[in-house]
Amino acid sequence: MARTRIQMLLLVVALTAAISGASASSIPEDLPHNPLEHDPLHPKHFDGGEHNAQFDHEAFLGPDESKKFDSLTPEESRRRLGVIVDRIDENKDGSITLAELKNWIAYTQRRYIEEDVGRVWKQQNPDNNDTISWDSYMQAVYGFMEDLSPDEKEQEENGVSYKSLLKRDRYRWSVADQDLDDNLNKDEFTDFLHPEDHPSMKGVVLRETITDLDKDHDGKISVDEYIGDMYRSTGAEDEEPEWVANEREAFSMHRDLDKDGYLNEEEVKQWIAPHDFDHSEAEAKHLLFEADADHDDKLTKEEILDKYDVFVGSQATDFGEALARHDEF
Ligand SMILES: *[C@@H]1O[C@H](CO)[C@@H](O)[C@H](O)[C@H]1NC(C)=O
Ligand SMILES: [Ca+2]
Ligand SMILES: [Ca+2]
């Protein structure tokens, strides 16, 4: 299923945190937080193409919860999912409608953003002032750059350097700063950390997306730049996975509206934020489609538990399966 870019952005933050921890070795360990953490426009986790299941789990549970489920046995995972299903069933009639599922996913997303902002806010603002100043944020997050050489500041990894991140954050900060005092209150800080979620930040997200993708700096996005953002092949002989081929087709069929072989700014805008697009509804429809065994457009608890791996996952690795099989004997 082709995802819109905004769908990817919404859920990718936590994963980039895990990944950048490994890659950004020149960042001191004790930094309040790694600037690459807030680089949701770089969905590196699409390397290898195993993104869909994880994506659904995060939409359904939120990134933090979804990590917890990954370590559970299938039995425990199913049990907890059953408890969640009872909560989703707002009118307690025993079946989950599209609307109930959509509300749940929207709630999950809100909760995640609130928790994430709360965490960073506390970190960056230990005195609990009403606002955080740019200087204070910049020192905490980018202060380490003072000790880097110019080359180190500009050294790129997947097209991103600390210098470019700082520049990007500076601009994003200035747009989030509604009352123009260069300090952000908690609402403004929320827009800064999660621009993908706020209408007044649309322009920033568009600009950052294009800057990110446009590796050859010609102002437009080629199909390879588009694919390169989601997938990097691991070796010359690897055949591209099917979903990558599908994305190539999506590029020419649905993204490149004027069929000139590139995405211009307007086409990127249509792609990342189609104006009537509802992320929660799209994800709810997708999950409903995956699990609705009797095609009555509602989900019973049994239908959901039967497809628990679609909703939450568990240790469903070979290791987990081996254990489960072992238990049968
Ligand atoms: C909070 O206020 C104090 C006192 O004005 C100031 O020294 C400190 O830098 C402020 N903290 C932030 C994060 O802006
Ligand atoms: Ca380009
Ligand atoms: Ca085009």
At residue 315, the pLDDT reads 64
Residues with CB under 5 A from ligand 2 (ion): 214, 216, 218
**Which of 134, 136, 185 to mutate to test ligand 1, by most ligand atoms within 8 A of the CB atom?**
136
Instruction: Identify the residues whose C-beta falls under 6 Å from ligand 1.
Output: 124-125, 127, 129, 132-133, 136
At residue 139, the pLDDT reads 95
Find, among 141, 190, 189, the residue nearest to 37 by Cα: 141
At residue 228, the pLDDT reads 84
pLDDT block averages, 10 residues each, the chain of length 329: 43 34 37 38 36 77 84 89 95 96 93 93 95 96 92 83 92 96 96 89 90 90 88 70 87 94 94 78 91 96 93 59 40
At residue 197, the pLDDT reads 76
Amino acid identity, residue 235? Answer: G
At residue 282, the pLDDT reads 86
Alpha carbons 158 and 143: distance in angstroms, whole number = 22
Specify the ligand 1 atom closest to the Cα of 183. Answer: 14
How far, in Å, is the centroid of ligand 1 from the Cα of 124? 10
Looking at ligand 1, which residue's alpha carbon is closest to its atom 14? 132
How far, in Å, is the centroid of ligand 1 from the Cα of 129? 6
Are 263 and 271 contacting, i.e. CB atoms less than 8 angstroms apart? yes
How far, in Å, is the centroid of ligand 3 from the Cα of 228? 17
Pull the structure tokens for residue 119. 């965490």
Q: Which ligand is nearest to the CA of 137?
A: 1
Amino acid identity, residue 205? Answer: V
How far, in Å, is the centroid of ligand 1 from the Cα of 181? 14
Specify the ligand 1 atom closest to the Cα of 137. Answer: 13
Specify the ligand 1 atom closest to the Cα of 129. Answer: 1
H helix runs in the chain, sequence order: 5-23, 52-61, 63-70, 74-88, 98-124, 134-142, 150-154, 162-176, 186-193, 202-213, 223-228, 242-250, 265-272, 279-291, 301-306, 308-311, 318-328
Query: Under DSSP, is residue 96 helix (H, G, I), strand (E, B) or coil?
Result: strand
Specify the ligand 1 atom closest to the Cα of 126. Answer: 13
Q: How many residues are there in the chain? A: 329
Written as one string, the DSSP assignment of 262-323 is EE-HHHHHHHH--TT--HHHHHHHHHHHHH-TT-SS-EEHHHHHHTHHHHT--S-SHHHHHH
At residue 235, the pLDDT reads 65
Amino acid identity, residue 316? Answer: A
How far, in Å, is the centroid of ligand 1 from the Cα of 147? 24
